[in-house]
Structure 1
Amino acid sequence: MSNPKFIPSTQLIVEGDIYNLRLSRYMRLQLEKEYNMNVQRYYSMMCVNGNVVDEYQFAAVVWALLRGGGQKVSKERACDIIEEAVNDEECGIVKLFESVLEALSAAFMNEEQFKEYKRLIEVYKSSEGENDTEKK
């Protein structure tokens, strides 16, 4: 039995709708062409700053991730999804940011690196939960 090909993606749930987020090569090139945007540089800035950095570029990246994930959404619909995510109690801006960061991380890592990344995120989240419990 052969190993299934690693297709780097993640999911975002907004108001009960499930969106696949994936940065395809085609959409990476579209961002370069339409927005003169280096996605790897933007990803690095997100990692260093720990935030969206530039709302315009963030929206463009979300659009590209949605399209790369198989959703045929317009740029306007992508902006609506961002707004819905921010206003969704289950999702919110933090979960949206984390999902975008995870999808970009997956795009720039091989399968082993991505598995280790996910493991480290889980360790970090579990240690945050322990710290919150200790403070109470």
Structure 2
Amino acid sequence: MGNQKFIPSTQLIVDGDIYNLRLSRYMRLQLEKEYSMNVQRYYSMMCVNGNVVDEYQFAAVVWALLRGGGQKVSKERACDIIEEAVNDEECGIIKLFESVLEALSAAFMNEEQFKEYKRLIEVYKSSESKEDTEKK
């Protein structure tokens, strides 16, 4: 494992289809060029606000993550995938948001930081589920 290069990505499952989400350098540059978009600034806004912030930019980021993850999808298809994810009972907008946030987090962290991030998310989720159980 020490020799393997850390390639940050995450998976999104929508209607049984598995999509890899990854922000490649090329796609980051495409977002800057085509949308005049600073992805790091958008990522920061997502973290601070805890939501999509801007639907147009969110769709552009999802398109870039899908393309960076190896799916050769058009912008229109990326929007269809977003709609399918939102309407999918297993996925939904929250899971879609979390997957995009995780993929962007991976892009801006080194391997150790990303492992710690994933660990903290698991701790948070388990404490949330304990609180839900105690309320019942």
Q: TM-score, normalised by structure 1?
A: 0.99
Query: Secondary structure of 1:128's match?
Result: helix
Give the Cα–Cα distance (whole angstroms) in 2 for the partners of residues 129 and 29 of structure 1.
Answer: 39
User: What are the ranges of 5 or more consecutive residues in structure 2 without an aligned counterpart?
Assistant: none
1:3 deviates by: 2.3
C-alpha distance after superposition, 1:8-32 (max 9, x if no partner): 0000000000000000000000000
Structure 1: which 4+ aligned runs deviate by more than 3 Å?
none
Give the Cα–Cα distance (whole angstroms) in 2 for the partners of residues 127 and 109 of structure 1.
Answer: 24
Query: Secondary structure of 1:26's match?
Result: helix
Give the Cα–Cα distance (whole angstroms) in 2 for the partners of residues 53 and 10 of structure 1.
Answer: 21
Query: Secondary structure of 2:46's match?
Result: helix
C-alpha distance after superposition, 1:98-129 (max 9, x if no partner): 00000000000000000000000000000000
C-alpha distance after superposition, 1:40-89 (max 9, x if no partner): 00000000000000000000000000000000000000000000000000
- Paired residues in the alignment total 136
1:2 deviates by: 4.8
RMSD, aligned CA: 0.8
Query: Secondary structure of 2:78's match?
Result: helix
Give the Cα–Cα distance (whole angstroms) in 1 for the partners of residues 132 and 2 of structure 2.
Answer: 43
1:4 deviates by: 1.0
Give the Cα–Cα distance (whole angstroms) in 1 for the partners of residues 119 and 12 of structure 2.
Answer: 18
Is 1:39 the counterpart of 2:55? The answer is no
Give the Cα–Cα distance (whole angstroms) in 1 for the partners of residues 2 and 52 of structure 2.
Answer: 39
Query: Secondary structure of 2:4's match?
Result: coil
Query: Secondary structure of 2:125's match?
Result: helix
Say if 1:2 and 1:130 are closer, same or farther in 2 by CA, change over 3 A: closer
Query: Secondary structure of 1:13's match?
Result: strand
Q: TM-score, normalised by structure 2?
A: 0.99
